[in-house]
Amino acid sequence: MKDQMPPGGHTVDASVNARAWNHIAAQDEADPAVSTPGEVPRTIEWTCWPGRGPGAEWIGDLSRTRVAELGCGTGEHTAYAAENGARLAVGVDVADQRIAQARARFGHLPAIDFKVGDAAEILDEPRLDVCFSIYGALWYAEPTRLIPVIHNRLRPGGILAFSVNAPRDGELPGRRVDNLTLTGGARLPVIHYSYGADAWRRLLAECGFADTQVLPIEGPDGSPYRTLVIRTRRGAD
Ligand SMILES: C[S@@+](CC[C@H](N)C(=O)[O-])C[C@H]1O[C@@H](n2cnc3c(N)ncnc32)[C@H](O)[C@@H]1O
């Protein structure tokens, strides 16, 4: 198990988060489902609670579109885009072991491409129609670095859709260090950026996004978590 700096990723956040997710990938390696061709999901789940929140209609018809998923993990939602008409579906992840698993599962699909690196550094496809992220780079990377990059890569009118957790009750918004717990009990730091609905609206508007919608989705009874499912558009130039 190597702890690699991601190509192009020079921020502390990217290297801390890559290390954590490479450890999770190594832990998952025993599960054949992450290293053999996988089943493409029938929809997109925007929250970690199946059936809560919108489905694939949140980003609309993907026919002939150019799509990027930022923080794609093992790649199933990038695969969804490729299977549902996208002419380009790029999955980006900062953890090289996650991308190795995504390639093993879905690399055979036409129109799909997977890339290793910090999304704020390596997203270089021009004129994208849709960028999306599910508890991915928009949650883990500094938004004032990443959102302008996404804005530059989307065509005017292109969609940015993503899910992130909101701060829990009593938590201050902003950059926070949390922990992922491995099955053996070891805890690995990860770095999140956690904001409420109004702060996301402001961050997006400041970077030239318009028509922002934020759906707050509560976790199951007793859960302290609330996920925000967000959709916005690059404004006209
Ligand atoms: C919670 S997982 C979600 C994975 C996937 N979207 C899913 O729903 O299963 C977060 C993923 O974001 C990736 N990630 C974190 N920071 C990133 C960054 N700056 N650029 C690209 N990927 C990043 C992590 O490596 C990890 O695979």
- Is 2's pLDDT higher than 50? no
Q: Which atom of ligand 1 is nearest to the CA of 119?
A: 20
* Distance in Å, CA 221 to ligand 1 centroid: 26
- Is 235's pLDDT higher than 80? yes
| CB-count exposure of residue 168 (10 Å: 0-12, 13-18, 19+) | exposed
The pLDDT tens digits of the residues spanning 62-110 come to 999 999 999 999 999 999 999 999 999 999 999 999 999 999 999 999 9
CATH, domain 12-37+44-234, list 3.40.1190.20, 2.60.40.10, 3.40.50.150, 3.40.50.300: 3.40.50.150
- Is 155's pLDDT higher than 60? yes
**pLDDT class of 10 with cuts at 50, 70, 90:** low
- Is 128's pLDDT higher than 50? yes
pLDDT at 231: 98
Residues 91 and 97: their CA atoms lie apart, in Å, by: 13
- Is 9's pLDDT higher than 50? no
**pLDDT class of 33 with cuts at 50, 70, 90:** confident
Q: What is the mean pLDDT of residues 173-198?
A: 94
Q: Which atom of ligand 1 is nearest to the CA of 21?
A: 25
- Is 14's pLDDT higher than 70? yes
Annotated domain spans of the chain: 12-37+44-234
What angle is formed at CA 81 by the lines to CA 79 and CA 164, rounded to 5 degrees? 90
Q: Which residues line ligand 1 (CB under 6 A)?
A: 14, 17, 21, 70-73, 92-95, 98, 118-119, 134-137, 140-141
Summary mean pLDDT of the chain? 93
Residue in the block written with tokens 């070891």 = 186
pLDDT at 11: 82
Q: For residues 1 and 46, which has the higher predicted lDDT (pLDDT)?
A: 46
Residues 99 and 102: their CA atoms lie apart, in Å, by: 5
